[in-house]
Amino acid sequence: MVTPASGRLEPVSIPVAAMIATLKGQILVKTSTLVVLDVHGVGYEVFVSARSYENLPDAGGTAFLYVQTVVREDAITLFGFSTREEKELFLLLITVSGVGPRLAIMILSGIGVRELCQALQARDHARLTALPGIGKKTAQRLCMELGEKVGVFGGEIEKVGRPLPSAGDEGYQAMTDAASALVNLGYASATAWEALHTVRRQGQDEPDVPGVEELIRQALQRLARH
């Protein structure tokens, strides 16, 4: 806006109440990273994750997005999400030092909400560093700062803290049974899974997948050292 005193164009201060929280309209443009949503004749450019992209209809269809408005000195950017859980996790991610909105969207593009919560709770650094833009230090910060916080999703995301079933993982049932046994012994679910993941990673070169009893034995040995 132009101030009477100076005659210069000054930045406009936008109140928090004016921030866009949701949008519903027709998709004019749809790419793998953004959509343009026509809402009553106004086109909103909204950046989305690959997961949200897959959940949206094709161009011409009507879409509803949860939106986070990010205000910077030189731009106002909208980030859209097909689910409320994805938006809430995005907000948690950007509280971590070194994780900006763009990186947060990249993270959510490379891993589902449930699986990300599981990796954070289990301190699965290997899973996190496999994502684009995530190095070892960033993975450590994410686990340290968010490992406990993602528990708020417990009532909405099924079985947080456990890895998703994978048809290619023949040891999944053994891991599940071993984790259950450790929890029954009094260990927290995240602690049990972290120990079991470490055991599996350390023994990944072995020809045979360890059974439930062996997993429990090795996990207890590891837990006793920490």
Residue type, 141: R
**Which CATH class, in words, describes the domain spanning 172-224?**
mainly alpha
How far apart are the C-alpha atoms of 45 and 164, rounded to whole Å?
A: 33
Could you tell me which CATH number the domain at 85-153 has?
1.10.150.20
Q: 36: left (phi > 0), else alpha (psi -120 to 50), else beta?
A: beta
Q: According to the model, what pLDDT value does residue 29 have?
A: 95
Residues near 3 by beta carbon (within 8 Å), at least 6 away in sequence? 10
Q: According to the model, what pLDDT value does residue 44 have?
A: 95
Q: What are phi and psi of 69, to 5 degrees?
A: -95, 120
Residue 146 neighbours by CB distance under 10 Å: 20
pLDDT in tens, the chain (226 residues): 444 444 554 444 444 434 788 999 999 999 888 999 999 999 999 999 888 888 899 999 999 999 999 888 888 899 999 988 899 899 999 999 999 999 999 999 888 888 888 888 888 888 888 888 899 999 999 999 998 888 656 444 444 334 433 433 556 667 777 877 887 888 766 577 667 777 876 766 565 667 888 888 988 988 887 6
Structural domain spans, the chain: 16-82, 85-153, 172-224
pTM, full prediction: 0.62
Could you tell me which CATH number the domain at 16-82 has?
2.40.50.140
